[in-house]
Chain A
Amino acid sequence: MSSQSNSPRAGGVPMSRRAALGLGFGAVAGVALTGCASGGAGPSGTRKAAVPPPTYVAPPVYPGAIVPEVPGVPTAYASMPKKLTRTVAAVPGRGGAVRHFHLTWGPPATPLAENRWWQGLNERLGVDFKVTEVSAGSYDAKFATMLAGGDLPEVVQLTFTAGCMKAVKQGAFADLSETLSGDKVLEYANLANVRTEQWQACTINGGLWGVPIDVPVELLEFRYRKDWAEKVGFSKPPADAAETAELLVAMTKGNPESGKKTWGLTAFPGMALDLAYGMFGVPNNWRYEGGALTHAIETPQFEAAIAWLTALWKKGGMHPDALALGGQTDRYRAFVVQGQVGMAVDSAANFHRPNSQYGAVVAKLDGAFAAFVPPGHDGSSKAVFRKTAGVYGINAISAEVAKDKERLAEILRLLNWRRGPVGSEEWYYQGWGAEGEYFTRGDDGDPVAVEGTNLDADKGAIAYGLTPQSWIFPTAKECVETNSQMVRQSVASAVEGLQSDTQDARGAQLDQLFATYINQIVVGSRPLSDIKTYRQAWRSQGGDQIRREFQEQLKRR
């Protein structure tokens, strides 16, 4: 993850912008969308009169809930809610087909004819749910052609990429700001559980473009091999950046797992950058002070973080293939699963869910793969992390479809059903399927998955982005505590929710610049002093223009 590529909302790198630009996304969308705009927002640059955001109603909690004090940390449970509530009384659909365009992160769903879970979902929704699945890597090409062909499905999962934003601005999707404003959202009670900041993240040019794909505001959790640390002489988590580097080097060279090759860190940028940025307090994307924006890479904190990484590389605290592994999540993860990594970062839930790859490792190591919050670089200050609005993307509704108000209402009812909160019958079915077919009850009443089903892959393909985040695992309390601390120590980007055309157009180029300079600096192929050249290049190749565009918007706020 490079500093420039962070999505203003999600804080991550949703996907390549190159493909979108290569396809001439904007021009295509412009042609295809003529006459397609809804009554929503006008073209880019125009703003509508503000309407109140949808009213927020906290989702219900059930006995045993661990309700965090920090906003944005999901409510968690150590075990499944015992009593389920039905949140949608009537079947939401009217019987026809409803098509979705979904991002997927794994294999496709089992075909409907052989998929009892999907069939059951259709019965409950009262529609023939059809889904076009597209992996993140192919998203841009597929989205561009669909858009050009003028046959957008009813619901499209958008990310905050240049192509998607352009389509939004050109009116391909329905503006829901009026439909869901204020208390009107209560007609779709489960959608009212969406936090206001999440709705704001889906608001562009005054239009509300869909229902957010829910993620925690701070997804990450850091873990380290406590057993290795003790073996190499660290009885406590590292207290500052220097000690962290010493530990990582010792984990690599101190043979903590006799007979097995081990490394402190295995991926750059990836987790190495997350760790260094956190410890040195590098701002989240942009910082706004005294009416001026400063980008993260322009700060002394950034320079200190890169210097620390460079020294770490030189001392051998990283895997020699770290640069390659930075882009190969599978390989990076395989190292973690195989117990060859001293320090790792990933989504908190992946460490805590017993049925996840990391969950199995955590359970096997029985406390030795411990969660920790990285220290501030000098030991006295605290690390600063990067939070988001908790939105990965938007479930947008086609403008063409939304012209029919009854159809729009039906689709919103369906989205409302899909967003059934934790402890609801709707949520339970989407997570576990039907009792007997997909799960049986354990002694404690909790569901035990029937082996041999393909439900995990099916859920990933069909339910991704529609259901709310749920943290239900035995270590929920620890997860909430660590995450709360991370969120307390995290800052949002100053440009959260703002758009920059230059950022959209030149983001990929600036990412490449980061790889050209910073990756090479870290591995010692360039001197640290080249950071200055990098900053100049970054400014001249679009950085300053992006700053101007964001600054203008901030002044208008």
Chain B
Amino acid sequence: MTSSHQPVWVERPNRVVTTIKGILIGAILLVMIYPLAYVILNSFAGPEATTTAGLIPSEWSLSSYSTIFKGGIVQRSLIVSILITLVGTALSLVVTSTLAYALTKTRQVPGIRPALYLVLLTMIFSAGIIPNYLVVKAFGLLDSYWSLIVPVLASAFNVVVMRNFFMQLPRELFEAARIDGAGELSIFIKIVLPLSKAVLAVIGLFYAVSYWNSFFNALLYLNDSSKWPIQLVLNSYVLQGASMSSMNGAEMYNLPSSQSVQMAVLVTATVPILIVYPFLQKYFTKGVLTGAIKG
């Protein structure tokens, strides 16, 4: 390679290439944005509006939102989801960070390495739906909100990412703290956690999204529909009439166009968690990459 060849990022951008890139990125963006815009705009479609033809409904209305908020089910499920997400994320972060920190002590504490392998094992082998159900039942968690939190309190992947992040923190800091008389708990709380805001934010987001999207566990473990989180309610709306009611004899009532109702529930179920993203964006790349690259 001759010296005249500069790395690509140093070269002046070629206008044609830049234009092509712009068009490509624009097209990809459009593909991403269109369904989102379609869902949002059509959630405001009136009962008589065309919801199948295009992006812009022919008639605007809030009737879909008034329908889904009428029985109080959606509000209640939103509250359930928010609480599950907040409590679950907080507890998951506590459990994950303490476990990850403990697992960094493979040289200092005997038995930590086998414990690490046990954690890793859960990434390869999953217990399966029914054994999980039996465990939840045995702990008396059926029909309890805790059934949505306790079984998924710590994810092995997140533990590994966080452990790797902790492993990169300068050991000198810990040694200095020890010389100053700090114990492991003090080091963890006063040094490790403040230096790990990026990974905590990212893992917190991972947990928050997974708690927010909690569907299957809720389906299996919650019998009382008043305890359903938003995703389960969303499912019931999306599937409303999905099975030909001509086959099951169920009645079809004069609700607003069920598609606009589905869109409205979808928007309601998506917006709260989307709001969190911009606030954590700056940590996102840093946290994931730092934790993931070095093992």
Interface, chain A (partner B; CB < 8 A):
1, 10-15, 23, 28, 99, 103-114, 130-138, 141-142, 144-145, 148-149, 151, 213-216, 219-220, 261, 270, 328-331, 333-335, 337-338, 340, 345-347, 349-350, 353, 355-360, 392, 452, 454, 456-461, 464, 469
Q: Report the Cα distance A104→B250, complex, angstroms.
A: 9
Q: Report the Cα distance A15→B242, complex, angstroms.
A: 11
Interface residue tally for chain B (C-beta within 8 Å): 51
In the complex, the answer to whether A460 meets B251 with C-beta atoms within 8 Å is yes
In the complex, the answer to whether A350 meets B245 with C-beta atoms within 8 Å is yes
Q: Report the Cα distance A441→B262, complex, angstroms.
A: 33
From known contacts A137-B242, A330-B242, infer whether A107 and B237 are also in contact, taking CB-CB under 8 Å: yes
For B139, list chain A residues within 8 Å (CB): none
In the complex, the answer to whether B251 meets A356 with C-beta atoms within 8 Å is yes
For B244, list chain A residues within 8 Å (CB): 1, 12-13, 270, 329, 346
In the complex, the answer to whether A133 meets B248 with C-beta atoms within 8 Å is no
In the complex, the answer to whether A109 meets B225 with C-beta atoms within 8 Å is yes
Closest to B138 in A: A149
From known contacts A108-B73, A138-B219, A329-B243, infer whether A103 and B253 are also in contact, taking CB-CB under 8 Å: no
Q: Report the Cα distance A460→B237, complex, angstroms.
A: 13
Which of B48, B129, B226 is the one whose CB lies under 8 Å from A338?
A: B48
Closest to A274 in B: B246
For B226, list chain A residues within 8 Å (CB): 108, 111-113
Q: Report the Cα distance A461→B73, complex, angstroms.
A: 13
Q: Report the Cα distance A5→B261, complex, angstroms.
A: 30
Is B27 at the interface (CB under 8 A from chain A)?
no
In the complex, the answer to whether B248 meets A356 with C-beta atoms within 8 Å is no
B176 to nearest A CB, angstroms?
53
For B224, list chain A residues within 8 Å (CB): 130, 132
Which of B94-102, B152-160, B228-236, B285-293 is found at the contact surface with chain A?
Answer: B228-236
For B246, list chain A residues within 8 Å (CB): 12, 219-220, 345-347, 350
In the complex, the answer to whether B258 meets A338 with C-beta atoms within 8 Å is no
Which of B32-40, B50-58, B183-191 is found at the contact surface with chain A?
Answer: B50-58
Q: Report the Cα distance A138→B221, complex, angstroms.
A: 13
For A213, list chain B residues within 8 Å (CB): 248-249
In the complex, the answer to whether B249 meets A469 with C-beta atoms within 8 Å is yes
For A106, list chain B residues within 8 Å (CB): 236-237, 240-241, 250
From known contacts A132-B223, A145-B129, A145-B130, infer whether A108 and B258 are also in contact, taking CB-CB under 8 Å: no
Q: Report the Cα distance A346→B241, complex, angstroms.
A: 12
In the complex, the answer to whether B249 meets A347 with C-beta atoms within 8 Å is yes
Q: Report the Cα distance A350→B247, complex, angstroms.
A: 12
Q: Report the Cα distance A392→B243, complex, angstroms.
A: 13
Q: Report the Cα distance A152→B241, complex, angstroms.
A: 26
The 10 lowest CB-CB distance pairs between A and B, nearest first, are A12-B247, A111-B226, A108-B225, A454-B71, A215-B249, A347-B246, A132-B223, A105-B250, A456-B253, A145-B133
In the complex, the answer to whether A330 meets B247 with C-beta atoms within 8 Å is no
The residue in B76, B250, B255 that gathers the most chain A C-beta atoms within 10 A of its C-beta is B250
Q: Report the Cα distance A457→B243, complex, angstroms.
A: 16
B68 to nearest A CB, angstroms?
8
A455 to nearest B CB, angstroms?
10
Is B259 at the interface (CB under 8 A from chain A)?
yes
Closest to A353 in B: B251
In the complex, the answer to whether A356 meets B233 with C-beta atoms within 8 Å is no
In the complex, the answer to whether B235 meets A135 with C-beta atoms within 8 Å is yes
In the complex, the answer to whether A392 meets B248 with C-beta atoms within 8 Å is yes
Closest to A327 in B: B242
In the complex, the answer to whether B73 meets A107 with C-beta atoms within 8 Å is yes
In the complex, the answer to whether B71 meets A135 with C-beta atoms within 8 Å is no
For B259, list chain A residues within 8 Å (CB): 330-331, 334
Is B271 at the interface (CB under 8 A from chain A)?
no
**B 16-62 contacts with A by CB, 8 A:** 48-53
